[in-house]
Structure 1
């Protein structure tokens, strides 16, 4: 069976004498047949005929009409080819179609060819991770080509990510393609978009005049939403924005229900059932990597990878939290937006340019300079003179262009230069590369070290607090590290790679630049979900890093920063006691949010079990092994003693043992009604040297 193309080609070249006002549409190709009819395919990308929706290995394809479409994902993104229509005569003002897939100009596109020249071309919307396979309505005004013979050529010559194109429902019409749109006169700070979790992903464009000022994908709710995603439009107060969404069903309320407000919309904000109360999390949407961590003008700045429009990864922006005390936090406006759709603002870092080496300083505030990966360009520099609230792009971006991402900036005092440590994929291997600069503008490659993946960090620490014995630590996303020396150009390891964090769901950590007292303070992405909420994921508590001398050499230790003590609402001291089976010195204590400190001397045969809100944390003295809710790690006794600290929150616990040499974060959601505590011993005895249970206040409290 042929596609409708065969008969429709005959129809479109017949004389037609109706006026433009009443000429009916002509469906040139709907791709409902078993093959391409009179269309000609080359290569392998387009298969032997129209695809019946999603192909193997592909994300779900939506937005096409009927059962078939052109889909060049046959064989995956590596396949290539072309698909050329039969010749036709242009007899309508517009050529309309549905299109999706890759956004690579000239490589994943559909071209209108007249007299051997490409006179119109269009791509899909996607060039980077985080996009959608949904087709959207689009079209060309072809009035100037009336009566001319033409062909359509669908092209797929791309072989990387989003190396395919989707096309359907090609129609000749005197009407423009219908694109759901709403005009909004901006009067408030936020536009609130209705979101339906696990709903259909829509592609939204926000226009000021003809300029796209914001563009993103969102699970736009057609009916009642699960939550509202805020878009800050304060820059366009008093102006009219045009909001356009693709492929909305006829009865969708997705655009009609967009509302305005000066506050983020939602009941019980920061008091939701699964809102972490000790760990910073986005008020709405998704977070992953911490970015741009820097102390300046009396504030701790914690930027973060952020999808403001959904509770899963995508639409990468830099969100922004600030804190005066490293304990309580406030989320301010999105700080870094993608340069354009698909050119995402990936991870990076920030520093204070005290000496204004860049020349970007204006005004009285400290000059903040950041580096981030622009996925469509490379490593880019930005700067801020208003306490990190808004950022300006360096006109010379990108400053480093390579196969890599996640630049970490630092000042190297001995060599008096800036250093960029950045993940690199030279020669198809995984490295950390080092570049240097005198002014944060012009960068020179210096060296590489192999064996690290994503999100590098490099910092210096004294060993056992000895300022004369300082070592450099090189680490990356999974927190494994090496100790060594760094001369400003080359890192020379003195140890093998050492296991870092021992828990689960801790990734892409970064340290604060410019901490006022010289401490090295780290925050990691805590992969602790909050299912069913209007937000997802969190950050670890701020952690102080130290280098401790051990029998195996210098090793990193982690401990909660002292500032968290300011959250204490009530502390109960637990006196020294001999523990034997059946004893439980914590049985009468109850708490939801807590920091618990214990020091014990267990016998060789003892198994000490601490239960915090029903979550078991067991220590086997014979094996010198900690079992945190089923996750087992080595935790050697130090001087014959077990010193244990536990922070318990609504979606995660952070556990510190062996004087911080074993840091064990775990995602866990305890039962809301269970606030019990217990401490028991089996198989032997233990001496409780000391203990305290601190009930904590929320970091969101004033």
Structure 2
């Protein structure tokens, strides 16, 4: 194996678990969908295709959490297709049926059913996420009866698909071994609310987080402790408004606070027609009044038709104020030719705007559509952030606002996970820092949260650098440290370190092994964990891989990971790549373990801090 001089691993975590599952010897497999076709299962309709899918399908958000290579994924040709997949008869021989499920939340329309004598006796549906999670049916009362599994897709609207994998009978309730726990030091919405796209804004010594749905609001003076404030705006149905979606907060030419946002009119759909509306705020950013002359931008100002036009972001350059918004050129309901449009303010009150044209058109057809674009300048480059069907990416290059031209140089992922992380946005503070938050989508009954605040920079070669804001170090408390730990083909549980709120920093050196790394949230029997697994070519975080040889670093590899109960954020090599994951774990799965396989490694230093709640 290639010898690495040093590998530095920094992990901040608050307990999570691994999706690695072993089917016990006495379990009965119904289907794992690893074959070239569906075997004896009966197919009707077009949604299932002729064989299992191998992961994410075109124009679909990233599908994660399935086992092996194959799964049922009915996003064939999008949500419009429908169908039913029915298993052969089988006998119920165990008290539980476990399976992985994701996709749309449409009971009886996107679902999996257990049929006995043709009647539905158990059913389950997705949670409007592409992450497959364990679900269990207690079938004790049906022991020894003949039954079938029926997978249904009868919905053609949004989230009109279902994902299923690894159906088996067992004496163990698999879903009972996994739980999704709310984080304790990530920003969360008020109790009972969901959270969506963030719209951060720094103003007069305070950090403000506006966020969807519906422009909720909170503020902080230290990036750690947050005060919930009244919602900034409500839908103005008396003015013909039906929805208010994402946008940004900025200052006009007179330093007055303004919100620009996507407004959908009554009787309109966001795919076909949208407006850009604006509101003015007071100095406290609490009271907002929508402008009398809304909309300030409509689609009539474009020289071409922009579909799914949305998410304005305002920035300043060369004494002018500009706006970008996202969309695509391929007519709905299809997607393609994803674009970012550019506009220039023609007055200081920001009520008159001129359309300058298409700033950027994505040549990757799989991107489909662009949402939540943002721009900032650093180190001689402009960085354009975009959220697409492929995930969240950045493009660095040069910007010519006079001609409305963006010339790309370097393209990469803002987030390698692409699923749990979406729709980030930025603000500049009084320290000259560009701060970014992203949306971490919730699972099951959990409503989601925002990422920790990240400081963005652009390297000399145009690569985006993301680092956790140093203010988070104030959350460190109990400290554990050790150095020069030598391992050869072995594992070592860190004694005395258990719990679900930690920061871990580890340095690996003299690596001469096939794999090495950390297992987090280890179960007492060693069967479950969240693995951070490394070699000299790639990093694997709980099943998601990053090619390390693309990071342009010769000898030193660094990770900085925040694991906050079910939320895991990993920063690679001083923030040159990042991964965000949401994971489930057992209530007693609290161990931390070092490991090495097929060789040896030295852990130069190990530091662990317990983390405080906010």
Checking the alignment, whether the CA contact within 8 Å between 2:218 and 2:229 is kept in structure 1 is yes
Q: What is the match of residue 375 of structure 1?
A: 264
CA offset at residue 471 of structure 1?
Answer: 0.3
Q: For 1:642-661, what aligned pairs fall within 5 Å after superposition?
A: 642-661=557-576
Q: For 1:415-494, what aligned pairs fall within 5 Å after superposition?
A: 416-426=319-329, 428=331, 429-437=337-345, 438-439=347-348, 440-448=350-358, 449-451=360-362, 453-462=370-379, 470-477=380-387, 478-489=391-402, 490-494=404-408
Pair 323,618 (structure 1): closer, same or farther in 2 beyond 3 Å: same
Q: For 1:149-228, what aligned pairs fall within 5 Å after superposition?
A: none
Do residues 683 (structure 1) and 598 (structure 2) align?
yes
Which structure's residues are more often strand, by fraction?
2
Residue of structure 2 aligned with 1:391, choices 288, 304, 308: 288
CA offset at residue 631 of structure 1?
Answer: 1.8
Q: What is the match of residue 502 of structure 1?
A: 416
SS in 1 for 2:503: strand
Residue of structure 1 aligned with 2:226, choices 329, 338, 342: 329
Pair 407,328 (structure 1): closer, same or farther in 2 beyond 3 Å: same
Checking the alignment, whether the CA contact within 8 Å between 2:560 and 2:571 is kept in structure 1 is yes
Q: What is the match of residue 298 of structure 2?
A: 401
1:428-470 CA-to-partner distances (Å, cap 9, x unmatched) read: 34210010103211000112121251111111122xxxxxxx1
Q: 2: CA distance between counterparts of 1:618 and 1:291?
A: 28
Q: 2: CA distance between counterparts of 1:337 and 1:607?
A: 53
Q: Structure 2: give runs of 5+ residues left out of the alignment.
A: 1-45, 48-78, 81-103, 108-124, 126-178, 266-273, 300-306, 332-336, 363-368, 523-528
Q: What is the match of residue 540 of structure 1?
A: 451
Q: 2: CA distance between counterparts of 1:497 and 1:423?
A: 18
SS in 2 for 1:441: coil
Q: 2: CA distance between counterparts of 1:694 and 1:514?
A: 30
Q: 1: CA distance between counterparts of 2:328 and 2:572?
A: 36
Q: 1: CA distance between counterparts of 2:479 and 2:418?
A: 28
SS in 2 for 1:336: coil
Residue of structure 2 aligned with 1:356, choices 254, 261, 280: 254
Q: 1: CA distance between counterparts of 2:421 and 2:181?
A: 21
Q: 1: CA distance between counterparts of 2:547 and 2:193?
A: 33
SS in 1 for 2:462: strand
Checking the alignment, whether the CA contact within 8 Å between 1:545 and 1:557 is kept in structure 2 is yes
Checking the alignment, whether the CA contact within 8 Å between 1:421 and 1:433 is kept in structure 2 is yes
Checking the alignment, whether the CA contact within 8 Å between 2:313 and 2:373 is kept in structure 1 is no
Checking the alignment, whether the CA contact within 8 Å between 2:198 and 2:437 is kept in structure 1 is no
Q: 1: CA distance between counterparts of 2:310 and 2:191?
A: 24
Checking the alignment, whether the CA contact within 8 Å between 1:290 and 1:509 is kept in structure 2 is yes
TM-score by structure 1 length?
Answer: 0.53
Q: 1: CA distance between counterparts of 2:470 and 2:574?
A: 15
Checking the alignment, whether the CA contact within 8 Å between 1:461 and 1:520 is kept in structure 2 is no
CA offset at residue 607 of structure 1?
Answer: 0.9
Pair 528,684 (structure 1): closer, same or farther in 2 beyond 3 Å: farther
Q: What is the match of residue 514 of structure 1?
A: 428
Residue of structure 1 aligned with 2:530, choices 600, 616, 629: 616
SS in 2 for 1:589: coil
Pair 516,510 (structure 1): closer, same or farther in 2 beyond 3 Å: farther
SS in 1 for 2:212: strand
Checking the alignment, whether the CA contact within 8 Å between 1:599 and 1:644 is kept in structure 2 is no
CA offset at residue 409 of structure 1?
Answer: 3.4
Checking the alignment, whether the CA contact within 8 Å between 1:635 and 1:658 is kept in structure 2 is no
Checking the alignment, whether the CA contact within 8 Å between 1:573 and 1:691 is kept in structure 2 is yes
Residue of structure 2 aligned with 1:280, choices 187, 198, 203: 187
Checking the alignment, whether the CA contact within 8 Å between 1:616 and 1:629 is kept in structure 2 is yes
Q: 2: CA distance between counterparts of 1:504 and 1:404?
A: 20
TM-score by structure 2 length?
Answer: 0.61
SS in 2 for 1:566: helix
CA offset at residue 697 of structure 1?
Answer: 0.8
Q: 1: CA distance between counterparts of 2:232 and 2:409?
A: 38
Do residues 297 (structure 1) and 186 (structure 2) align?
no
Checking the alignment, whether the CA contact within 8 Å between 1:506 and 1:524 is kept in structure 2 is no
1:571-590 CA-to-partner distances (Å, cap 9, x unmatched) read: 22232333323352734322
CA RMSD of aligned residues (A): 3.1
SS in 1 for 2:392: coil
SS in 1 for 2:297: coil
Q: 1: CA distance between counterparts of 2:287 and 2:442?
A: 29
Checking the alignment, whether the CA contact within 8 Å between 2:296 and 2:352 is kept in structure 1 is yes
Q: For 1:527-676, what aligned pairs fall within 5 Å after superposition?
A: 527-529=441-443, 531-532=444-445, 536-549=447-460, 553-582=461-490, 584=492, 586-601=494-509, 603-614=511-522, 615-622=529-536, 624-636=537-549, 638-676=553-591
CA offset at residue 332 of structure 1?
Answer: 1.9
Checking the alignment, whether the CA contact within 8 Å between 1:406 and 1:456 is kept in structure 2 is no
CA offset at residue 504 of structure 1?
Answer: 4.5
Checking the alignment, whether the CA contact within 8 Å between 1:289 and 1:347 is kept in structure 2 is no
CA offset at residue 670 of structure 1?
Answer: 2.4
SS in 2 for 1:565: helix
Q: 1: CA distance between counterparts of 2:453 and 2:308?
A: 27
Q: For 1:112-131, what aligned pairs fall within 5 Å after superposition?
A: none
Checking the alignment, whether the CA contact within 8 Å between 1:635 and 1:662 is kept in structure 2 is no
Q: 2: CA distance between counterparts of 1:507 and 1:578?
A: 36
Pair 273,629 (structure 1): closer, same or farther in 2 beyond 3 Å: closer
SS in 1 for 2:471: helix
Checking the alignment, whether the CA contact within 8 Å between 1:294 and 1:352 is kept in structure 2 is no
Pair 342,507 (structure 1): closer, same or farther in 2 beyond 3 Å: farther
Checking the alignment, whether the CA contact within 8 Å between 2:196 and 2:441 is kept in structure 1 is no
Q: 1: CA distance between counterparts of 2:279 and 2:510?
A: 54
Q: 1: CA distance between counterparts of 2:311 and 2:451?
A: 21
CA offset at residue 525 of structure 1?
Answer: 0.7
Q: 2: CA distance between counterparts of 1:665 and 1:350?
A: 26
| Larger of the two Rg values belongs to structure | 1
Checking the alignment, whether the CA contact within 8 Å between 2:371 and 2:423 is kept in structure 1 is no
Q: 2: CA distance between counterparts of 1:297 and 1:521?
A: 16
Number of residues paired by the alignment?
403
Do residues 346 (structure 1) and 213 (structure 2) align?
no
Checking the alignment, whether the CA contact within 8 Å between 1:578 and 1:685 is kept in structure 2 is yes
CA offset at residue 496 of structure 1?
Answer: 5.3
